[in-house]
Structure 1
């Protein structure tokens, strides 16, 4: 009996998680952080055997995924958990941040396929004093195991000519003051992904500055619901493209402001794992504040022409 017990101790330990063939990493590029997710138990690896940059074993187990976070993108602190950055100068300077999620097991024998999820985020870099301020027009992308991800072409927000959403207009979109109140058609599309992934618009709002955190804002979509009857959502979370329209406007008491920035907080949802469709708006109340938790896309609108006081004025705050 003692011999049998010793033999059992030498047998491979059964997996405590269900191994998955995880051949992609899901990366969200935020202005101040990068979040990378891999399906849980990739090729049989537990979360304590996966490290960020081969340095930090700081993964978090979220439903269906292992999550790794890079919370600081300051170039001076580019070495966070093995994160590396590259500055590309030119007329449109950029920063590229690189890192990877790798497997590491110190046991005598390794019975799982090694994994190395290498990913990157590319940001436009504008300079204020000596600090880099990052802007990006993307949210989430899926890249293959071991490959670098480029994000600008994966998820985009465009202005279209009409409700058929066939032809996109050139950016930045120009609105003449005589056209204030006209309909603006917005389409957000993910390219290069399989049909299982759906684009979900969570929140959209406009600001008189390029900063999405500006306290002066006008909400258009809140928790996937239209904020009022001037906003119409055509499709959301059903396919790789979500679409809506709103009536153009300008901000009150901002006569010198010739640009309005539209921000949309977007997520890419895995339809095979969870239900992507938001609950009906008629059965839930809308909060007054926007609380983004997904990647943020930004579009620029130029208001052209002279504005007279008292004309085309829009209240900023919604109660």
Structure 2
């Protein structure tokens, strides 16, 4: 709390005798901050004799400035000046926080290529005409829906091409997740539903997969890819070698024809929860069994009644 009192409003006092409720702490001295025109008190909320009170809605921190003629005396019978003050804090408040689930573009610098940018976006269909707006994230899909994605590199260097070396999916936003699902590895397609679309721009990579969910309670999926920029048409680059199932080790990088490996990611994708079809099937089977049992029971009742009637006739 900060309190300022204009000295002109006070009677003639020995200002050096002014004190807070607890003058024993040096931080509670009023002389430290006062000036020629004002008495200034900087009062901690938990020291200098500050008292805390509360009601249903507020916390009140109270203290006072008093004066004494003899600082060593314990009591006085002279009238003292008392300037009571307090700060009031509401016990309730609203806190808001916002964030964007959409990942921003990744800007990197690489020797031989300078500064360039990677973008990873999702699209509503295979026309790839307009990306899905960032405000729509996290995106929702049903299992089996086709998800359309594009990775694009923007660079001031002409005659370049983009190569996607690997892509994985994970239920957490963690690049070190121990058991990701692999879509592309060493430039080879591993997911049976993956489709790669041709594009006239060599710095774009467009592909799609069918939506899936991780077994268990995980309903989020994050997609991460490792990418390389190369000099277009150069047979010595990683881009030109394409799929290498055995994971052939990359040759020593030539800075002017090939970049380092960079990582881009996007997500999360949220998989809509649906009724378990297996449980439905079991219920249907159970209902059929109940119907069959009921029919048999009715037939048995009919047979018993028939026997009783015949017996009565005899």
TM-score category, normalised to shorter length? 0.3 to 0.5
Q: Which has the higher strand share?
A: 1
Q: Which has the higher helix share?
A: 2
* TM-score between both structures, scaled by the size of structure 2: 0.44
* TM-score between both structures, scaled by the size of structure 1: 0.44
Q: Which has the larger radius of gyration?
A: 2
